[in-house]
């Protein structure tokens, strides 16, 4: 008998009871349900051999055993079959019937009443059954150590505590579920959150790219979706290079770069981030390679960064072979801080190939986000970046909102006071072209 696609009916069979709709306080006992499943009775000693031949028709349902004991015969077992593939004995294919015959197994199908409980349902199935019909269901979250970080929509808020408990129940290792209740604060890059369910402890530990970070998630900024970007920037560095991390957070750029035997100057205005940055440097054994500051980004650039650049780009710069990078990961405002580079240094400029490389992050809702970010950076600096910049798509933050990173070498005419460029002698070498995300079309990307 031909198989038919009845995925919707299959979902209905294995969905929670309909009377849980509208539940706001989790009652696990209300999810009990009995379904009738076709089963095949076989001798227990041939189960393993037979299962390989019955993959097509065996029940494929996470959390439900495909082979159970026969309550009427301890020498036999019952193989659970897919109720939408096995209607009658004739539903077996010829090859399957041949194997059954070889093993002396009757193809007769029996029925078994299977009791489903809360434990048998996936989080998405539970929430789809509970939330108002036809509305979006969230089963995804950002995992930050033991914390599930959700961003619930308005229609989900009446069910927030139930959703939080389901996330904890269905995800091993998660012991707390929180919901963001406002946007990230531009000053300290943290946000208010509400504990929906589980423990109140927000001090957590995460592992990213072989490094360990500890912090109070309620007081600092951490985004697990930036793991790939942290690695991408780290790849630019070679032993001996220098990093100035203007908005360092708890160290996801500073620590991996320091591990590559580089010199790192890391800063964050948030006192909590500063505290955990110091802690994480010790935790990852790079505290001797990282100088940590608790300053406003502009003060950091015009103070410690300026002083160090005067030495790095000074009289001995001709002998210098290492690179200097400045990372500015504050997408909501970082471009505004580029003005701090204008006339930052005194004296004669170094060779253009020794000028610092900036990696500046920004959001854009423009139809051509790469062009938008470059033009905004140029407007702040007051010069064109056509010859020395590239733009990389980091991630899609929301519909029609992208996070990007513009990388450029600071033009000497900007960095040095009263600097007059002789374009014939000081030609800015372009950086290597950087690939953008495949989903970021060429029409929306400007790489120069």
**For the segment 339-355, what is each residue's pLDDT rounded down to a tens digit?**
999 999 988 877 788 89
* Dist CA 276 CA 269 (whole Å): 12
CB burial string 345-366: b at 16+ within 10 A, e below: beeebbebebbbbbbbbbbbeb
Residue 379 has a pLDDT of 97
pLDDT band for 181, please (50, 70, 90 cuts).
confident
Residue 183 has a pLDDT of 62
Asked if residue 361 has pLDDT above 90, the reply is yes
Asked if residue 158 has pLDDT above 50, the reply is yes
Q: What is the 3-state secondary structure (H, E, C) of the chain?
A: CCCCCCHHHHHHHCCCCHHHCCCCCCCHHHHCEEEEEEEEEEEHHHHHHHHCCCCCCECCCCCCCCEEEECCEEEEEEEEECCCCCCCHHHCCHHHHHHHHHCCCCCCEEEEEEEECHHHCCHHHHHHHHCCCCCCCCCCCEEECCEEEECCCHHHHHHHHHHHHHHHHHCCCCCEEEEECCCCCCCCCCCCEEEEEECCCCEEEEEECCEEEEEECCCCCCCHHHHHHHHHHHCCCCCCCEEEECCCCCCCCHHHHHHCCCEEEEECCCHHHHHHHHHHHHHCCCCCCEEEECCCHHHHHHHHHHHHHHHHCCHHHHHCCCCEEEEECCCCCHHHHHHHHCCCECCCCCCHHHCCEEEEEEEECCCCHHHHHHHHHHHHHCCCCCCCEEEEEEEEEECCEEEEEEEEECCHHHHECCCCCCCCCCCCCCCCCCCCCCCCCHHHCCCC
Percent of the chain scoring above 70 in pLDDT = 87
Residue 319 has a pLDDT of 65
Asked if residue 440 has pLDDT above 50, the reply is no
Residue 107 has a pLDDT of 92
**For the segment 251-283, what is each residue's pLDDT rounded down to a tens digit?**
999 999 999 999 999 999 999 999 999 999 999
Average pLDDT estimate for 146-172: 94
- 441 or 8, higher pLDDT: 8
Average pLDDT estimate for 136-156: 89
pLDDT band for 314, please (50, 70, 90 cuts).
confident
Average pLDDT estimate for 13-40: 94
Percent of the chain scoring above 90 in pLDDT = 74
Residue 442 has a pLDDT of 35
């Amino acid at each position: 008998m031909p198989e038919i696609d009845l995925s919707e009916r299959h979902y209905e069979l294995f969905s929670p009871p309909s009377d849980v709709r509208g539940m706001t306080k989790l009652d696990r006992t209300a999810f009990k349900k009995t379904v009738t499943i076709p089963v095949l009775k076989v001798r227990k000693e041939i189960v393993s051999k037979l299962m390989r031949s019955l993959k097509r028709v065996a029940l494929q349902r996470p959390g439900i055993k495909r082979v159970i004991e026969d309550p009427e015969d301890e020498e036999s077992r019952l193989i659970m079959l897919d109720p939408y593939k096995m209607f009658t004995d004739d539903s077996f294919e010829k090859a399957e019937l041949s194997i059954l015959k070889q093993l002396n197994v009757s193809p007769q199908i029996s029925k078994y009443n299977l009791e489903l409980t809360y434990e048998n349902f996936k989080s998405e199935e539970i929430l789809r059954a509970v939330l108002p019909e036809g509305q979006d269901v969230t089963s995804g979250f950002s995992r930050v150590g033991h914390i599930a970080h959700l961003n619930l929509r308005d229609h989900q808020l009446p069910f927030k505590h139930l959703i939080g408990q389901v996330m904890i129940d269905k995800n091993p290792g998660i012991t707390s579920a929180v919901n963001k209740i406002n946007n990230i604060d531009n000053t300290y890059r943290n946000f208010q959150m509400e504990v929906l369910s589980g423990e109140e402890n927000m001090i957590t530990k995460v592992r990213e790219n072989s490094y360990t970070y500890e912090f109070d998630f309620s007081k600092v900024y951490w985004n697990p979706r930036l793991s790939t970007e942290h690695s991408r920037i780290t790849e630019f560095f070679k032993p001996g290079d220098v990093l100035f991390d203007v908005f360092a957070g708890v160290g996801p750029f500073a620590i991996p770069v320091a591990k590559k035997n580089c010199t790192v100057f890391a800063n964050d205005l948030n006192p909590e981030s500063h505290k955990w940055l110091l802690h994480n440097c010790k935790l990852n054994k790079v505290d001797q390679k990282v100088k940590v500051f608790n300053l406003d980004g502009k003060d950091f650039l015009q103070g410690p960064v300026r002083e160090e650049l005067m030495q790095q780009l000074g009289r001995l710069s001709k002998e210098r072979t290492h690179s200097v990078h400045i990372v500015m990961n504050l997408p909501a405002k970082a471009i505004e801080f580029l003005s701090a580079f204008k006339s930052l240094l005194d004296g004669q400029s170094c060779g253009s190939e020794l000028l610092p490389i900036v990696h500046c992050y920004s959001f854009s809702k423009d139809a051509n986000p790469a062009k938008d970010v470059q033009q905004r950076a140029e407007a702040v600096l007051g010069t064109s970046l056509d010859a020395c910049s590239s733009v990389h798509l980091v991630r899609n933050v929301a519909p029609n909102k992208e996070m990007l990173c513009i990388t450029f070498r600071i033009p000497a005419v900007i960095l040095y006071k009263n600097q007059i460029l002789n374009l014939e002698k000081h030609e800015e070498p372009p950086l290597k072209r950087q690939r953008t995300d495949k989903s970021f079309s060429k029409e929306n990307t400007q790489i120069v």
